[in-house]
Amino acid sequence: MRFQFSVIATAMIVASPALAIEAFEPAPNVAGISANAAKQLGAIQPVKMASGSKNGMSWSAVSRVIGQTATSDVLAPSNTIGGGNPIYKPSANKSGTVALIMEYSNGDRFICSGSVMADGRSIATAAHCVSDGAGTANPVKTTVHFYNGNPDERAVNPGASETRSVTAYFVHPEYIGEVIDQNDIAILRINKEAPASAQRYDLFTTNDLTGTQFNVAGYGTRSTTGGNNGNTPPFGARTGYLREGDNIYDYAWGDSRFQDFFTTRDTTGQFAGQNFFGFAEVEFSFISDFDNGLQAQDQSRRIANAIGLGPIGNTLFPINFGVGAREVGIAGGDSGGPGFVDGKLATINSYGLTFGTNFGDFGGGLNSGWGEFSGYVPVFIHTDFIATTAVPEPASWAMLIMGFGLTGATMRRRRGVTAAA
């Protein structure tokens, strides 16, 4: 999700009169989906779904988890330096992770994150950062801020980093604007090549991420204490500082072990129609949970056991205690940022998700603490889309394909059947 300054959400910004960009991602947009998307869906679902329930299990899309300890200094309320636990500060290979500032005609400004692609002219990010659905209006201006190597300097402050302007937006044509949507990916073209100091990322295209440990980064909401604490007034932990951490892709919602609890198939066996989270495709939407080393907070397993699988769930879904002190979840402003496996771009940060207080919260209430989910769009289902958009000139095609490692056949995502009216 995007994060708008002054409103806690996932990844955008609103500037104060002093030009100090304060970003909090707004709640999911509930405006009508695009006319094209409505036509595809038979016009049965005119509003994006940010919450829902099925068989007594309820969910809400929120993104407020950060790290287990502080990712920001504690100099309330200005937070003028980055600070925080140094284990979350970016490593050398994050030089190609960028901050995006989107500006709209009504004056709203938002922050998201992104990654420099192999061609040096394209930025991968989440579609929801720049679109309410394929065919809807893009921002009037998007500025790309490159990491300057100083984790304690705010990259989006004027003059703090080298910048580029976005000249073209390529939103996945099947992104319909739902909060949970495996097509939540966009490629942005910049006006000139990224700085030489910015790393270019190849793609990790293995066809299943289940159980894989990954590294994730972004410029979103931080905390002076850890978790969803110390990031609201008067603390005011600011966005725009690059941070990273680790987690494990627990599974995708289309995992066969769920027996289609979260997905819906048509008579031909293809995923289509309304599913647990709405009408967007979610078969390959991968998630991680926020573990703290205790079985009680292993939400990925607890959810599996709660959907009616019975004792079999204990066998099918092994206990996951997490990866230790660097375990993180994505927060407002991290949307569009990268998930890396072996130094290659494996996923795009997309959404946060809670199933309520019965599934892992540690402080009482919906505080987005231990046990909450973060959601990701895998690039392996979008290699065709990326290869045909992240190329500034036809002559670059062969070089880009080689850089992405797409010399073999790519996996084509299955197309859902249009829902009946």
How distant, in Å, are the alpha carbons of 103, 164, 397, 408, 409 from that of 393? Answer: 27, 19, 7, 22, 22
Q: How far apart are CA 49 and CA 219, in angstroms?
A: 26
Lookup result for tokens 């809400």: 60
Distance from the Cα of residue 286 to its chain's centroid:
10
The pLDDT, as a whole number, for residue 67 is 83
pLDDT at 356: 72
Assess contact for 185 and 377: CB atoms under 8 A.
Answer: yes
Which structure tokens are listed for 19? Answer: 């030009």
Give the three-state DSSP class for 353.
strand
Q: Helix, strand, coil shares of the chain as percentages rounded to 5?
A: 15, 25, 60
What is the pLDDT, as a whole number, of residue 312? 59
Q: Which run of H or of E encompasses 388?
A: helix 383-389
Check if the beta carbon of residue 119 is closer than 8 Å to that of residue 405: no
Q: What is the structure's pLDDT at 79?
A: 59
Sequential DSSP letters for 163-221? EEEEEEEEE-TT----SS-TT--EEEEESSPPPTTSPPB-B---S--TT-EEEEEES--
Task: Give the CB-side neighbour count of residue 145, counting CA atoms within 13 A.
Answer: 26
Q: What is the pLDDT of residue 270?
A: 80
Q: CA–CA separation, 146 vs 164, rounded Å?
A: 8
**In CATH, what class is 3-29+50-404?**
mainly beta
Give the pLDDT confidence score for residue 357 in this predicted structure: 66
pLDDT one digit per residue (tens) for the chain, 421 residues: 443 322 222 333 322 222 223 333 332 332 333 333 323 333 233 335 666 666 666 666 666 557 888 888 876 556 567 888 999 999 999 999 999 999 988 888 999 999 999 999 999 999 999 999 999 999 999 999 999 999 999 999 999 999 999 999 999 999 999 999 999 999 999 999 999 999 999 999 999 999 999 999 999 988 887 776 666 666 667 889 999 999 999 999 999 888 888 998 877 878 778 888 889 999 999 999 887 777 766 777 778 777 766 665 567 887 788 898 999 989 889 999 999 999 999 999 999 887 776 665 545 444 445 657 899 999 999 999 999 887 655 444 455 555 445 433 333 333 332 223 2
Q: Can you tell me whether residue 105 is helix, strand or coil?
A: coil
Which H or E run contains 300? Answer: helix 299-304
Residues in the chain: 421
Q: Distance between CA atoms of 352 and 360, rounded to whole angstroms?
A: 14
Q: Which residues contact 39 (CB under 8 A, 6 or more apart)?
A: none
Site of tokens 């989440």? 126
User: Which residue, among 357, 367, 355, has the nearest Cα to 307 in the 3D structure?
Assistant: 355
